[in-house]
Amino acid sequence: MKIEILGTGCAKCALLGKHADEAARSLGLDYELSYVKEIPDILARGVMSTPALVVDGVVKLQGHVPTSRNIEKLLLA
């Protein structure tokens, strides 16, 4: 599973990355987490409000940071 965290690098993006990492690890997923920080790359994924979470190319959420528990639900869906 490919998890991408979109955001220009503010505190919220780092927090989303941390929560997503916790969520994926507690589900025991085989995943790869990366950060997308350049604005053109963010826009190319169809996202304009950050931080955003993209899983295997699908935008799962944008604009807020849920708890890792709630991210687990998004990863399973």
Partner 1 sequence: MPEAINEMACCDGSQPVPREPGFWRRGGWLLLALPLWFVLYHFLEPFADWLAYTRLGLTPASRLGSAVAFFAYDAPKVVMLLALVVLGVTFVQTFISPDRTRDILAGRAGIWGNLLASVFGIFTPFCSCSAVPLFIGFVRVGVPLGVTFSFLVSAPMVNEVALFLLLGLFGWKIALIYAGTGLAVAFLSGWVIGKLRMERHLEDWVMQIDFKPSTIQEARKSFSDRLDLAVEGVRDIVGKVWPYLLAGIAVGAFIHGYAPEALMAHIMGKAAWWSVPLAVLIGVPLYSNAAGVIPIVQALLGKGAALGTVLAFMMAVTALSLPETIILRKVLKPRLIAVFITVVTVGILLVGYLFNAIM
Q: Would you name the residues annotated as active-site residues?
A: 10, 13
Q: Give the end-to-end CA distance of the chain in Å, rounded to a whole number.
A: 13
Tell me the three-class secondary structure of 53-68, residue by residue.
EEECCEEEEECCCCCH
* CA dist., res. 27 & res. 49, Å (int): 27
Binder to partner 1 among 1, 10, 25, 32 (CB under 8 A)?
10
Shortest distance in whole angstroms from residue 56 CB to partner 1: 12
Structure-token pair, residue 57: 């190319």
By rule CB under 8 A, what string of x and - marks binding of each residue 27-46 to partner 1? ------------xx-xxxxx
Site residues (vs partner 1, CB under 8 A):
7-10, 12-13, 39-40, 42-51, 58-67, 70, 73, 77
